[in-house]
Structure 1
Amino acid sequence: MHYEGLVARLRRGWASAAIVLAGLGLAGLAGNAAAQAEAGAAKKLDNATCLTCHDGNKGKLEVPTPAGKPRALHAVDPALFGKGVHRQMECVTCHVDIKDNADKANAHQKDPTAPLAKVDCATCHQELWDQTVKRGREDERPRLKTVATNIENYKKSFHARPNPDDKTKPNATCSQCHDTHSFAVPVNKASPENTQWRLSISERCGNCHTDQLDTYKESVHGQENAKKMLADAATCSDCHSAHKVANTSAAQFKVSLTGQCGNCHTRQYESYKETFHGAANTLGYAYTAKCQDCHGSHDIVRVENPASKVHPDNRLETCGTCHNPKKGLPPVSKGFVSFQPHAEPGNFQRYPQVTVASWGMTALLIGTFAFFWLHTGLWFYREWVERRARGGGHPHVRIDEIPAPLRGKQFQRFTPIWRIAHLMFALSVMVLATTGMPLFYPEVPWAHAIMNFFGGPKVTGLIHRTAAVVFASIFFWHLIYVVIKLGSQWRTWKIFGPYSMVPNLKDLHDCIGMFKWFFGMGPKPKIDRWAYWEKFDYWAPFWGVTIIGVSGLMMWLPSLVGQFLPGWVFNVATIFHSEEAFLAVVFLFTVHFFNNHFRPDKFPVDVVMFTGSMPLDEFKREHPLEYERMVQTGEIGKYLVEPPSKLRMKLSRLLGFTLIIIGLTILTLVAIGFFSDAAGRAPAGIVV
């Protein structure tokens, strides 16, 4: 209820009371009541009364001060006030220490040398919102809810902190940004009024930030707004926000600013997040390059402008601000100039190398998964059908099919050194996947958790590279071992023989035979020492190490590589490294796990790689050609061992289950990241 309405009601009440009293013969009392009503009306403080002095039409409105210098009082433009959001309020609603208007010369019954109390906008609006919440009417007043939210943000902002020059005052108050007497933010963002309001923001901020305003006016953002008068380009509140203004030197602000840029430059933001700089920033770490580090802040100009920090003539210097020995990084080299931090796979005209690399890796992934997932699905179906036909359980070879001297023995398939190598290989791959995938999917929650667990990108990167060295060491040790082994057997070893890992025609025939068996069109082919899927598992690390290893080494030593190769090779290396890692993780923890653990004849875990030996009947069933050849030649006796003890079997199963659980956990995290990334792709945005 407004003050004006309240006075009117009081006047009507006193008049009614006078009539009643007169009717009762109390005319004297009635006269006194009427006189008091008239006196109250004379002291009424409505807006019209205030504007008789504060309308600005009577020259300067000043009052004396003890210092002798007059203090100017505020003048209100009635026309602007009539359009503001406070137009229906009385002046005294906010200026609560003004009690009456009996003596203008005494400035509303106050010492004229003492200023009136500052109006507290925040307290007033917060009280109104608290009352609204108490009455359960929040949905009826959405604008008030926005104001309440802005108040909370302001209290935590840089503007609300004490001013360094005067600790009794904040850095900025509501009235410094909002003219409370004419404040009216246009609700319709598409309206000309809203455009004009946006265009005025930089000038309002510039009242305090004069140097920044002068620089902004010369920037591409300021020039766009000034030239087109459409306010399409960024203004102060777009980057700094309006009420959550933060200290620009704080890490949190630096990290969040890239997202503010991405609100307009969506395509550039999405491509930036594909780089190491962007991934670390998305994970919440501020030490990598961000938009403002490369492009500037208030002084941003177009890339083709010679003054731009990212102009080709200036890029080495710009990159060198971070990539220098003082910051613990090798110095920049000429390859940095042509690195594309916003390369878009698919835009062949602008980024042909990146597009070809992306298309090539996509084809490799689709081809590999299409074949082996089909192979896996059909294999599962055939074994499940046969398992159901025999009434369940694993298949067994009849005891009388194994010579009596061999019964109860196991065939040693892998020596201790190969089992250790396999375990180290598996562990290093799992560590590489765990520490590398957060950078591949930095926006999913588990990526933040993993990165924080390891202590941030720097520590995680060190662990990742250590695991890579272990992985590569095992790989190269294997190559040396193979070379030495072949050197000692060069007279008898056959490149396409049964003990060779080199694919041959029999592997092709076995593959075709397996598909016939899948569809019930023939018997299961007899496998020799190595099956074609085992050979694929063997050779996969060769191209995997080549692609992942070489690309990872290039990104590990960018300054050295950049001395000899152009910068776009880093874009290609990033695609090769991440996509091949994705292929390796998904293949290992789906196809490889199925082939060795999850198919019905093996489920739930096969421990041959942990014990080194397998039951003789299983060996005869899985590798019948090798078994028959060894029995005929008498060589099988060399490889027969006693079954592992119960304790060893339990430990082997425990190790196997542990590795399987870790692998499936990594696979689940990758699946979450993949589908979250696919669902969150942003639409095309501004192209610069």
Structure 2
Amino acid sequence: MSTPILILSLFVAAHSAATGQVRECLDCHDGRDPTAPRVLLSPGAAHAELACAECHPGVEPPCRDVPKAATCDTCHGDTADRMAGAEHTAHVAESAAVSPEPGTPHTTCRACHEPSAHAVRRAGDPASPASRDRVSETCLACHASLHPRHAARFLGGKHHAPAPGQRTEAATCADCHGSHVIDSPRRPASRVHRANVAATCGGCHRDARTEYENSVHGRAAARNAPEAPVCTGCHDAHAVPPRRGGTDVVAACSACHAAERVSSAFRLRADRLSSFSGSYHGLALRLGDDRVANCGSCHGHHAIRPPDDPSSTVHPDNLGTTCGACHARTCGGCHDPVPARFVRGTVHVTPDRPSHPVVGVVRSAYIGLTGLLVSLMVLHHILDLRAKIGGGAASARGAGRPAPRLSASERIQRAALTLSFWTLAVSGFALAFPESPLAWPFRAFPDAAAARRAAHRGSAAVLAGLALVHVCDMTLTRGGRSRLRLLWPVRRDARDARRDLAGGDASQPPIRLAEKAEYWARAWGTAVMTLTGLPLLAIDFSLAHIRLWAIELAQTIHFWEAVLAVATAVIWRGYAVFIDPAARPLNRPG
């Protein structure tokens, strides 16, 4: 007889013998004999083809003595040895809530596999509590009450698929924590100890693990630096979201990069969060625009390297490609992405650390100029009030210069100018101060950032259009040129202004110096705001043709001109409309 046939014959004989013994045992253990416990052998059970004596040594029907209790380690000794020192084994064995027989050798096995050893199925069987399709459900049978917060976050995360049959690709509890040797994160041998987390997550996320291990974070973790983040430092261990928005990314990064202990340990600048939050990207993100760049957009998510590493996305030679990922080709796709030479410079800028000294000088000059002009306007109002109220000449001056009637076209232009100016101011400062009440009107829209952007650009177009119409009127029409000559400053304006503030002669020129100053200040502000707003509007074109520090300079001038314009409108026009005795309706003659 050949060897294969002999082996097959022995297998068939052994199987027949085992089947025969099982049948003999079931003659008593089928539930009809009240003195013998009932045994149910489930079809397809892992132990269905074993002889009873393999788990119950010494059993020979008919049984004269009570057989020795079966223990899983009789066959699964290696697994039992590995489980012996695990925390999970000890906790389950001591828990009376899991089994009515706490402390018995097989309690821990029954808790996860089947209450009855006769019904245990192989882990590959979809009906098994230990199968991929059901293992998380099995764990949650205990941990939903022991750790309700973790359980709820896991059920709402990406690792949990909602329906059976859809979990073969999703991570299960056993994928991360292990199936038999389960320890708490405090133990170095645990699969979820911080030293092992990258390897555990890398079992599924292989590319991410490779990138992480070669990154600044992975290298620091390999040196056992306690401040170095591992996977669970950035990603919640249980509540893994389907997609992380920009706000979540910034919050995850700032948890370390805004912490003094981390900055000190790795000698990092502590202003990274504040500098990002004050940039356009940070301000737009704070307003709710998750489409703008966040930390990961520039630095990467897993392959984060220092700026002096040639393979880093923020290395000077790679900044053009990095910025070009969002600010793509310009001018109809003819030009290359952002040239690296234009984006070289300080990216994380702060008021005390601008990208170029010129930016700092201009910002300081504007701060000083704003304070000076506000002080001069307040001083003018005080002197003007004293002259008009104390000298009693207010009525005469008001009567001597009756306000001319505006045409219908001029009234429409004035209304459009006022509306567009204040819409520009509110929508602009809503971006600069996204948590302020100025942003509330835009937060009523589903996309607050888009609503603010549309309002700002629309009102800017209206204001620029009105300015263009005004320039054409003042230069191309006879009446406009006549008014322009009257508005042009002359030598006697200063003398008339001094006499006016001193409460002297009530006679007035057609247009006072203060009115001329207001007109030319408005013209200057409109021109500067338009010129500095254009490179910010066409930012892709600007990045391809203008130095980075020049864009920051335009942004600085644009902001402070807006501050000046609003301050002038509130202080100067507010006085002229609501306080000036010569302009108040009750002082009109007749």
Taking the aligned partners of 2:207 and 2:441, their CA distance within structure 1 comes to 41
Q: Is the 8 A contact 2:499 2:505 kept in 1?
A: no
Q: Is the 8 A contact 1:218 1:299 kept in 2?
A: yes
TM-score for the superposition, normalised by structure 2:
0.68
Match of 2:424 among 419, 432, 436: 432
Corresponding position of 1:574: 555
Change (3 A) 1:347 1:523: same
Q: Is the 8 A contact 1:383 1:599 kept in 2?
A: no
Corresponding position of 1:232: 227
Is 2:473 the partner of 1:478?
Answer: no
Map 1:331-346 onto structure 2 (within 5 A).
332-334=337-339, 336-338=342-344, 340-346=346-352
Is 2:293 the partner of 1:301?
Answer: no
Mean Cα deviation higher: 292-301 or 589-598? 589-598
Match of 1:110 among 105, 110, 117: 117
Change (3 A) 1:168 1:481: closer
Query: Which letter maps to 1:596?
Result: V
- Once the two structures are TM-superposed, the CA of residue 552 in structure 1 deviates from its matched residue by 0.7
Corresponding position of 2:433: 441
**Helix, strand or coil: the match of 1:310?**
coil
Change (3 A) 1:94 1:364: farther
Is 2:222 the partner of 1:208?
Answer: no
Corresponding position of 1:412: 404
Change (3 A) 1:411 1:215: closer
Q: Is the 8 A contact 1:315 1:336 kept in 2?
A: no
Query: Which letter maps to 1:617?
Result: P
**Helix, strand or coil: the match of 1:309?**
coil
Taking the aligned partners of 1:207 and 1:396, their CA distance within structure 2 comes to 88
Change (3 A) 1:512 1:615: closer
- Once the two structures are TM-superposed, the CA of residue 175 in structure 1 deviates from its matched residue by 5.2
Corresponding position of 2:12: none
CA RMSD of aligned residues (A): 4.7
Query: Which letter maps to 2:517?
Result: F
Map 1:18-29 onto structure 2 (within 5 A).
none
Query: Which letter maps to 1:359?
Result: S
TM-score for the superposition, normalised by structure 1:
0.59
Q: Is the 8 A contact 2:359 2:552 kept in 1?
A: yes
Query: Which letter maps to 1:467?
Result: S
Is 2:456 the partner of 1:464?
Answer: yes
Taking the aligned partners of 1:329 and 1:374, their CA distance within structure 2 comes to 55
- Once the two structures are TM-superposed, the CA of residue 222 in structure 1 deviates from its matched residue by 0.9
Deviations 1:442-500 (A, max 9, x none): 2446526515538554564344333223212322332333334679978xx996xxx33
Q: Is the 8 A contact 2:220 2:228 kept in 1?
A: yes
Deviations 1:39-72 (A, max 9, x none): xxxxxxxxxxxxx979x9x99437xxxxxxxxx5
Q: Is the 8 A contact 2:342 2:543 kept in 1?
A: yes
Taking the aligned partners of 2:234 and 2:291, their CA distance within structure 1 comes to 19
Corresponding position of 1:278: 282
Is 2:377 the partner of 1:372?
Answer: yes
Q: Is the 8 A contact 2:246 2:290 kept in 1?
A: yes
Q: Is the 8 A contact 2:160 2:167 kept in 1?
A: no
- Once the two structures are TM-superposed, the CA of residue 532 in structure 1 deviates from its matched residue by 3.5
Match of 2:589 among 611, 617, 630: 617
Change (3 A) 1:416 1:110: same
- Once the two structures are TM-superposed, the CA of residue 429 in structure 1 deviates from its matched residue by 0.9
Taking the aligned partners of 2:334 and 2:370, their CA distance within structure 1 comes to 34
**Helix, strand or coil: the match of 1:263?**
helix
**Helix, strand or coil: the match of 1:241?**
coil
Taking the aligned partners of 2:81 and 2:381, their CA distance within structure 1 comes to 81
Count of residue correspondences: 488
Map 1:10-89 onto structure 2 (within 5 A).
60-61=76-77, 75-78=82-85, 81=87
Taking the aligned partners of 1:109 and 1:472, their CA distance within structure 2 comes to 82
Change (3 A) 1:510 1:449: closer
Taking the aligned partners of 2:235 and 2:323, their CA distance within structure 1 comes to 25
Corresponding position of 1:360: 365
Taking the aligned partners of 2:550 and 2:105, their CA distance within structure 1 comes to 82
- Once the two structures are TM-superposed, the CA of residue 537 in structure 1 deviates from its matched residue by 2.0
**Helix, strand or coil: the match of 1:425?**
helix
Deviations 1:644-668 (A, max 9, x none): xxxxxxxxxxxxxxxxxxxxxxxxx
Corresponding position of 1:244: 239
Q: Is the 8 A contact 1:510 1:527 kept in 2?
A: no
- Once the two structures are TM-superposed, the CA of residue 538 in structure 1 deviates from its matched residue by 0.9
Change (3 A) 1:494 1:225: closer
- Once the two structures are TM-superposed, the CA of residue 337 in structure 1 deviates from its matched residue by 2.5
Map 1:625-644 onto structure 2 (within 5 A).
none
Mean Cα deviation higher: 232-241 or 415-424? 415-424
- Once the two structures are TM-superposed, the CA of residue 215 in structure 1 deviates from its matched residue by 1.3
- Once the two structures are TM-superposed, the CA of residue 370 in structure 1 deviates from its matched residue by 3.0
Query: Which letter maps to 1:566?
Result: R
Query: Which letter maps to 2:220?
Result: E
Change (3 A) 1:564 1:156: closer
Deviations 1:250-295 (A, max 9, x none): 3x53442123223333422322233333333222223222222222
Q: Is the 8 A contact 2:211 2:303 kept in 1?
A: yes
Change (3 A) 1:109 1:225: closer
Percent identity of paired positions between Structure 1 and Structure 2: 24
Query: Which letter maps to 2:98?
Result: H
Unaligned runs of 5+ in 1: 1-51, 63-71, 129-146, 187-191, 517-521, 607-613, 619-688
**Helix, strand or coil: the match of 1:154?**
helix
Taking the aligned partners of 1:351 and 1:432, their CA distance within structure 2 comes to 28
Corresponding position of 1:683: none
Change (3 A) 1:256 1:445: farther
**Higher relative contact order (CA closer than 8 Å, sequence separation 6+):** 1
Query: Which letter maps to 2:415?
Result: L
Corresponding position of 1:171: 170
Corresponding position of 1:183: 184
Q: Is the 8 A contact 1:162 1:171 kept in 2?
A: no
- Once the two structures are TM-superposed, the CA of residue 162 in structure 1 deviates from its matched residue by 4.4
Match of 1:507 among 494, 502, 511: 494
Unaligned runs of 5+ in 2: 1-69, 122-127, 259-270
